[in-house]
């Protein structure tokens, strides 16, 4: 068993040393038994790829055309940086993974402001413009925000070409919906949702630690976590979650 673990560690280190991009798909967490994948016994079994795609071999969460109308595909995208290309890549990866041409809703959780700063409209604008472009290209049907107070939500609504359809509120820090936010959302038909996600779903340091644990002596400082996407596939008529999973994307800095 020790020699097998050593082999896996060597393989992972070799692959990660060569790769420039890492894509991870957890598969359907509603059925955890599928989270198993055989690793190649040696790096020589396959060409060393520039992109490591760590996912379940079968398209286990793919949606068939026949069932598409019965399902709602909801996504929350946690960004580490407000790069429009990251938003586009995340949405494209979700569409490909789930075999759909359009996501029903995407809620954005942009990267937090610098220490001591508060979130502003200018901080949100780059990410929102990326979402608007995807609505215009029909990759997303509706877009929403997360943790905006009434003033910032109003600023975004007045500025945006594609208006937010929803805003998530973390009830851990606000046990009752603020009356001014509730009144504004009702007036402009913005759905208020609740959540209990941390401000940072996965930090860059946590990601690097996870990679380090799997590969021991691999130098991981060059690997940058770009985004984490959580998707839920809901059966509309029954209100139950058919599938739920995560997509993760990281990139190695150019030498």
Q: pLDDT tens for residues 54-104?
A: 776 555 688 999 999 999 999 999 998 767 889 999 999 999 999 999 999
Domain boundaries 2-29+64-252, CATH class: alpha beta
Between 245 and 48, the higher pLDDT residue = 245
Q: Model-level pTM?
A: 0.83
Cα–Cα distance measured from residue 190 to residue 167, given in angstroms and rounded to the nearest whole number: 7
Distances (CA, A) of 17 to 11, 104, 219: 10, 37, 8
Between 98 and 200, the higher pLDDT residue = 98
Cα–Cα distance measured from residue 134 to residue 92, given in angstroms and rounded to the nearest whole number: 10
pLDDT tens digits, one per residue of 98-114 = 999 999 999 999 877 65
Residue 124: CB atoms within 10 Å: 20
Per-residue pLDDT band at 44 (split at 50, 70, 90)? very low
Which residue is listed with tokens 């975004």?
A: 156
Select from 197, 195, 202 the least CA-distant residue to 24: 202
Q: Which of 6-15, 19-28, 142-151, 173-182 has the highest mean predicted lDDT (pLDDT)?
A: 142-151
Q: At a CB cut-off of 8 Å and minimum separation 6, what does 84 contact?
A: 126, 127, 129, 130, 133
Per-residue pLDDT band at 11 (split at 50, 70, 90)? low
pLDDT of residue 172: 76
pLDDT tens digits, one per residue of 126-141 = 999 999 999 999 999 9
Cα–Cα distance measured from residue 217 to residue 21, given in angstroms and rounded to the nearest whole number: 19
pLDDT of residue 10: 47
pLDDT of residue 74: 97
Select from 92, 157, 172 the least CA-distant residue to 124: 157
Residue 134: CA atoms inside 13 Å, Cβ hemisphere, count? 31
How large is the C-alpha radius of gyration of the chain? 20
How open is the CA angle 214-219-221, to the nearest 5 degrees? Answer: 105
pLDDT of residue 7: 43
Does pLDDT of 125 surpass 80?
yes
Distance of CA 168 to the CA centre of its chain: 16
Cα–Cα distance measured from residue 162 to residue 177, given in angstroms and rounded to the nearest whole number: 24
Task: Please state the domain extents for the chain.
Answer: 2-29+64-252
What phi and psi values does residue 147 have, to the nearest 5 degrees? 65, 35
Share of the chain above pLDDT 70, in %: 78
Q: What is the mean pLDDT of the chain?
A: 82
pLDDT of residue 233: 96
pLDDT tens digits, one per residue of 12-36 = 667 767 777 888 887 788 765 544 4
């Amino acid at each position: 068993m020790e020699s097998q673990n050593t082999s896996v560690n060597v393989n992972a280190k070799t692959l990660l040393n060569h790769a420039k991009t890492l894509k991870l798909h957890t598969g359907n967490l509603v059925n955890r038994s599928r989270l198993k994948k055989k690793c190649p016994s040696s790096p020589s079994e396959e060409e060393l790829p520039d992109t490591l795609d760590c996912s379940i071999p079968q398209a286990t969460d793919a949606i068939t055309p026949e069932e598409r109308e019965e399902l709602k595909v909801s996504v929350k995208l946690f960004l580490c940086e407000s790069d429009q290309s990251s938003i586009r890549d995340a949405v494209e990866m979700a569409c490909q993974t789930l075999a759909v041409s359009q996501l029903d809703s995407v809620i954005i959780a942009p990267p937090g402001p610098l220490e001591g700063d508060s979130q502003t409209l200018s901080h949100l604008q780059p990410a929102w413009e990326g979402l608007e472009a995807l609505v215009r290209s029909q990759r997303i049907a509706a877009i929403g925000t997360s943790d905006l107070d009434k003033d910032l939500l109003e600023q975004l609504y007045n500025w945006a070409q594609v208006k937010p359809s929803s805003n998530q509120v973390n009830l851990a820090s606000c046990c009752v919906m603020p009356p001014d936010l509730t009144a504004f959302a009702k007036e402009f038909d913005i759905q208020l949702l609740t959540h209990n996600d941390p401000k940072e779903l996965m930090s860059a340091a946590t990601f690097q630690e996870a990679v380090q644990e799997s590969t021991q002596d691999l130098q991981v400082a060059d690997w940058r976590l770009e985004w984490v996407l959580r998707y839920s596939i809901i059966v509309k008529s029954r209100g139950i979650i058919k599938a739920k999973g995560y997509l993760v994307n990281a990139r190695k800095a150019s030498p």
